[in-house]
Amino acid sequence: MSFPDQLTIARTIAVPAVILLFAWDFPNHDYWATAVFAVAMATDWLDGWWARRRDVSSDLGRLLDPVADKILVLAALIMLVGRVFPAWMVGAIVVREILVSGLRLAALERGVVMSARELGKLKTWAQAVAAALGGLAAAGAIADDVAWVALLVALVLTWLSGLDYARTAPSILRGRQPA
């Protein structure tokens, strides 16, 4: 298994720690949760950079990377529902992620591994920034409104990205790689 794939798996393994740190009430727990989240998300940039630089991209990485991102970001967002973020915003993001994951599964059944699209990558980073700002807001370091606006931007990008994936769905469902 390549180093980028190991980083992707490490990002997934960080999810329970992020959940536990947000849930466990001890001094500065929100700061710790946010820090672990931020370090784990940084591996997303690092694994992609390494894979491109060393030319070690793999189908496993193309499949697991977006899943690891989704799990980590959604875990953080869900842990902040009711504390910083409204449930409807996080719920709308979760629904889009499930729909696109279903499309990825349908593509995989047809022998097509869908790589993350550019708008999808931007969406992931917008969600990650919103989650990190949400963690800082939960800790009292910034105003909740700042995190809320960041999540609103992420929500809009999330659904625009979803529409971009939907545009490619017909060719994917015919077993062809999207353009």
- The CATH number assigned to the domain holding 162 equals 1.20.120.1760
At 104 the pLDDT is: 82
Structure tokens, 150 = 């960041």
Domain range spanning residue 109? Answer: 3-173
Do the domain assignments include residue 94? yes
On whether residue 169 sits in a domain, the answer given is: yes
In a domain, 41, yes or no: yes
Residue 179 lies in a domain: no
Q: Is residue 162 part of a domain?
A: yes
Say if 112 falls within a structural domain. Answer: yes
> In degrees rounded to 5, what are phi and psi of residue 110?
-100, 10
Query: What does pTM read for this prediction?
Result: 0.89
pLDDT recorded at residue 179? 64
Give me 83's structure tokens: 């504390």
Q: Is residue 34 part of a domain?
A: yes
In a domain, 178, yes or no: no
What local confidence, expressed as pLDDT, does residue 99 receive?
Answer: 93
The whole-angstrom separation of Cα 150 and Cα 169 is 28
Tens-binned pLDDT, residue by residue, of the chain (179 aa)? 788 888 889 999 999 999 999 999 999 999 999 999 999 999 988 877 887 788 777 767 777 888 899 999 999 999 999 999 999 999 999 999 999 988 888 888 888 877 777 898 899 999 999 999 999 999 999 999 999 999 999 999 999 999 988 888 888 777 777 66
Q: How many domains is the chain partitioned into structurally?
A: 1
| pLDDT reported for residue 178 | 66
